[in-house]
Structure 1
Amino acid sequence: MDQENVSATLTLDVPTEKVFAVLADPRTHPAIDGTGWVQEPVDRATLREVGQIFRMDMYHPDAQDGDYQVANKVHVLDPPRAIGWLTGYDPKGDGHLEFGGWFWRYDLVPSGPSGTEVTLTYDWSAVPQSIREYLRFPPFGPEHLTNSLHHLAQLPHRRPEADPSAVRNCWGR
């Protein structure tokens, strides 16, 4: 793949402010993801400022023991228009975070009286060659971003088993 980012766009029948609120709540990220890799947020606070760190428990069968944790750093926060984060980790377990050069970003544009056009971008253009030697980019197929946006669109209609109030409260219902 010559390109170093992938994007997908979907129009949701939900007001922009509510979509942003869901994206700013780490508790909803496992439901949005859809791969089963994103498990549970370690840091459950709403994303409110650039530089904020939020950790997520993850699972991938190719990871040592399958389970691991990422530390995400908010690098874009423009309510209700854009939110994004860099993905990193704590390699020595000493609190010193390293970021690999890839990020996730959601851009939101109002569409009609109560809709939102959402563009999800995954960008790995800043990943150094040393990381590219052992990680493949992107680590998922091209359909993943579109599927993720469809999951985001369905959140007002789902009742997750673990914490049903988390998703419903984000939508204000």
Structure 2
Amino acid sequence: MSTETTTEVLAVSRTIDAPVGTVFGVLADPAHHAAIDGTGWVREPLEPAAALTEVGQIFGMGMYHANHPDGDYRMHNRVEVLDPPRSIAWQPGQYGPDGEIGYGGWSWRYDLAEEGAGACRATLTYDWSAVPAFLRDHIAFPPFGEDHLTRSLDNLAALAEGAR
């Protein structure tokens, strides 16, 4: 496992004993996101499971966090990068009272590279560099430690290796 931390980006990498396409397939299915998540905050997809297939696609997830004002809440993620089977990224947001989705300025990205026969190197990056000051006044970034990303990649590996 290797890690990299800069001021506003946290990244963790590991080898997964599954082909790149298999790992990408797990990531592109929101039904797997709760099982991948290393914090336990992600609960379930809000819509019937549909594979992520295009940039701009929105997918909703039911969430829970004890420190969130509502406990249970919903996030609506916009796919920002989709380069099968190499990269996938999304930016979480929430619907406001005006019916529009507002984004907080943080993103999740997975980059996959072949590493030997039937294995890949997966890098998970959490980037909060675009979070505006008013949100930083209310939320400490990052809101979790590097161990969250490590657990997420371990969970992803277990799912992908089991799917081979």
Q: Same fold (TM over 0.5)?
A: yes
What residue is the counterpart of 2:44 in the other structure? 40
SS at 1:98 equivalent: strand
TM, length-normalised to structure 1: 0.88
Q: TM-score, normalised by structure 2?
A: 0.92
Confirm or deny that 1:11 pairs with 2:15: yes
* RMSD of Structure 2 on Structure 1 (CA): 1.5
Distance (whole Å) between structure 1 residues aligned to residue 42 and residue 100 of structure 2: 22
**Partner Cα separation in structure 1 for residue 88 and residue 141 of structure 2:** 22
User: 1:132 and 1:156 mapped to 2: Cα distance?
Assistant: 35
Percent sequence identity over aligned pairs:
53
Structure 1 residue corresponding to 2:84, chosen from 79, 92, 98: 79
Q: 1:51 aligns with which of 56, 76, 79?
A: 56
Q: Which string of whole-angstrom CA distances, capped at 9 and with x for unpartnered residues, describes residues 53-103 of structure 1?
A: 0000000001123100001000000000000000110121x5310111000
Amino acid at match of 2:10: V
Post-superposition offset of 1:147: 1.0
Counterparts in 2 of 1:109-120, with a 5 A limit? 109-120=113-124
The equivalent residue for 2:107 is 103
Pairing partner for 1:66 from 67, 71, 77: 71
Q: Once the 2 structures are TM-superposed, how far is the Cα of residue 113 of structure 1 from its aligned partner?
A: 1.1
Gaps of at least 5 residues in structure 2 are none
Count of residue pairs brought into register by the alignment = 159
Q: Which runs of 5+ in 1 are unaligned?
A: 159-170
